[in-house]
Amino acid sequence: MMIKLKEVLNELKNEVVRPVYFLKGPDPFLQIFFIKYLTKIYFKNTIINKTLLLPDDMKGSEIIDRISTRDLFSSKKLFILRNVQQIKGKPTQDLLAFCEKPIQNHILVIISDDWLLSSATLKKIEKIISPIDVQTPFENDIKKWAKYLFKENKKTITDETLNSLVNLTGDNLSHLNNEIEKICISVGERASITSQDIEQFSGWKRQHQRWELFISLGNKNQKKSLLIGKVIIKNQESMISLIYPLTCMFQEILFEKMKNGTFSNNRSYLPIPPSVRKKIPQFSKNYSFEDLESILAHLGAIDCRQKTAFSIDEAELIQFISNVTE
């Protein structure tokens, strides 16, 4: 049974700390937010003893030794374990045994970006521990997080201005948080945030953003797409960072064409801003089924090249844009 993050945060607020947590979902902001909150509650005024465990750098047996060995003073320890699916053999069984019978004063946080749980180990862990949902939330909940983040920075913002901010940067909470931090720092001591602040300090007028590229691609505007693409690939993006959201956008355009008004709207999370999602029906008129199949195959080929061979980001993006918009 999936647990909402809010429920676990309320538990921690009441100083109820679980021995093992299983975070399931790819949003890095929520993962980091939870760990910071847990650290603050668990260690209070004592020395923080926090260790990141990565199977890439350590043997499975060493990881198990770390989480299961107590020191002479039974000190409080917090362990964060990522990429658990890479642990093989007996250490996997030892890890499952630890999850079933944890050690006092040792807190283990297992993090999986894999929402579909393709790993057998992750599936077994979920049978022992109810996972905590750390997917990027839907638009309404992203707005709640935006209000919270402004409040934490002791700033106020109108609903209309906040909606504009989320509409343009709400593809994930990390991106949203970065924009809010920049805006709050830039306005200094002033408490209220205006729409002019957002336009002036977020960089939307000074440099192009990912959402602008997606909209120009959706509209098959080759000249604008090439101009924006060259700017963002040099300044703030990589081809790897663009492949997943681009794939999701063109998959949604394909689904829109397939649905043809016979299915309800998709309610699942998509890693693209609301300003782009709202235009999917419009974009679908610009592409044939053959176009979309070719585009998705091209993205798959780029992904393969990025992971297995030398690949130049700008060249890959320019070729992709040309193929999409011709």
Query: Are 258 and 314 members of one domain?
Result: yes
Among 184, 201, 218, the domain-final residue is 201
Please report which confidence band the pLDDT of residue 260 belongs to, taking 50, 70 and 90 as the band edges: low
Query: Are 128 and 153 members of one domain?
Result: no
Query: Are 111 and 156 members of one domain?
Result: no
CB 278 within 8 A of CB 214: no
Structure-token pair, residue 51: 């260790």
Q: Find the CATH number of the domain harbouring 146.
A: 1.10.8.60
Query: Are 59 and 113 members of one domain?
Result: yes
Query: Are 7 and 112 members of one domain?
Result: yes
CB 53 within 8 A of CB 67: yes
Contacts of 279 (CB under 8 A, 6+ apart): 215, 218
Query: Are 252 and 318 members of one domain?
Result: yes
Q: Find the CATH number of the domain harbouring 286.
A: 1.20.272.10
Determine the average pLDDT of the residues in 45-63.
92
- pLDDT for position 204: 44
Query: Are 162 and 122 members of one domain?
Result: no
Q: Which domain holds residue 14?
A: 3-133
Lowest mean pLDDT among 70-84, 144-158, 212-226, 227-241: 227-241
Nearest to 105 by CA among 76, 63, 133, 131: 76
- pLDDT for position 126: 92
Query: Are 36 and 106 members of one domain?
Result: yes
Please report which confidence band the pLDDT of residue 267 belongs to, taking 50, 70 and 90 as the band edges: very low
Cα-based distances in Å from 174 to 29, 33, 169, 202: 5, 10, 10, 14
* DSSP codes joined into one string, 202-237: SSTTTS--HHHHHHHHHTT-HHHHHHHHHHHHHHT-
Query: Are 62 and 43 members of one domain?
Result: yes
Please report which confidence band the pLDDT of residue 82 belongs to, taking 50, 70 and 90 as the band edges: very high
Which pairs from 35-40 meet CB under 8 Å and 24+ separation?
35/80, 35/109, 37/9, 37/12, 38/12, 38/78, 38/107, 38/109, 39/78
CB 269 within 8 A of CB 137: yes
Query: Are 254 and 171 members of one domain?
Result: no
Alpha-carbon gap, residue 16 to 12, rounded angstroms: 5
Length of the chain: 326
Determine the average pLDDT of the residues in 55-70.
92
At position 277, the amino acid (one-letter code) is: R
